[in-house]
Amino acid sequence: MVRRFTGFTAVAAAIALTTLAGAENSGAYAQVAAQATETAAVETPLTEEVVPVFVEKAVVQEFPEEATDEIPVIDEAPRAQSLRELVGAMPATGELSSELQCLAGAIYFESRGEPLEGQLAVARVIINRAEDRRFPSSYCGVVYQRSQFSFVKGGRMPRIRTGTAAWTRAKAIARIAHRGLWDSEAGDALFFHAKYVKPSWSYKKVATATIDTHIFYR
């Protein structure tokens, strides 16, 4: 802010004083009065006027420098020599997201009696469908799609026996499949059925794997 002072009142008083001096025929007195006027205008600010100053450039506030080294996020997958070993290394506790709950539920109801490779293949089919434009774009959408999985009744999944080893394995397989921690023999399969049935659509598909009692197709 810039302050500018005016001596309007002082100047007016000096003029009046000069006028009186002229009336008394005193030229010297008038000269002294004039000098007094200039001094009053400079040294006696009777009126203060505040004039704003506009900043043309943006004001940049400086902050203390921060460390540039980033701390890497450590999310290492368990190391395992076999799928069984990997399943055993996965955490048995912790809540699943709604999407992983749907994926694990499908694994549980469709393949809990299958070997781990067969369970992983079922999970792979659901994930492949969620990534394919011809199917819903979420695990739950795929699982609950009408007339796709026989265990879904009235748009609902049956109650899961959560205290069983089968459910613990299904949760582990869901996490492994979701994170892509182990390759599945099913590959890019989008369909599967049990060996004891032969649906008409299977003749138009390409088989990718046969694992225990299930045949997988793309």
Q: Is residue 63 part of a domain?
A: no
φ, ψ at 183 (rounded to 5°): -70, 140
Provide the CATH number for the domain around residue 158.
Answer: 1.10.10.2520
Are residues 92 and 184 both part of a single domain?
yes
pLDDT tens per residue, range 26-65: 444 444 444 444 444 444 444 444 444 444 444 343 434 4
| Domains held by the chain: number | 2
pLDDT tens per residue, range 154-190: 999 999 999 999 999 999 999 999 999 999 999 999 9
Are residues 47 and 87 both part of a single domain?
no
Are residues 173 and 97 both part of a single domain?
yes
Q: Is residue 58 part of a domain?
A: no
Q: Is residue 193 part of a domain?
A: yes
Q: Is residue 67 part of a domain?
A: no
Q: Is residue 159 part of a domain?
A: yes
pLDDT tens per residue, range 83-100: 999 999 998 888 899 999
For the chain, strand residue ranges (E) read 2-6, 47-51, 191-194, 207-211, 214-217
Query: What CA–CA distances, in Å, run from 177 to 2, 77, 118?
Result: 70, 12, 12
Domain range for 190 is: 83-217
How many Å apart are CA 58 and CA 67, to the nearest integer?
Answer: 26
Q: Is residue 207 part of a domain?
A: yes
* Spatial CA neighbour of 92 closest among 186, 183, 173: 173
Q: Is residue 97 part of a domain?
A: yes
The pTM of the full predicted model, rounded to 2 decimals, is 0.65
Radius of gyration of the chain (CA): 44
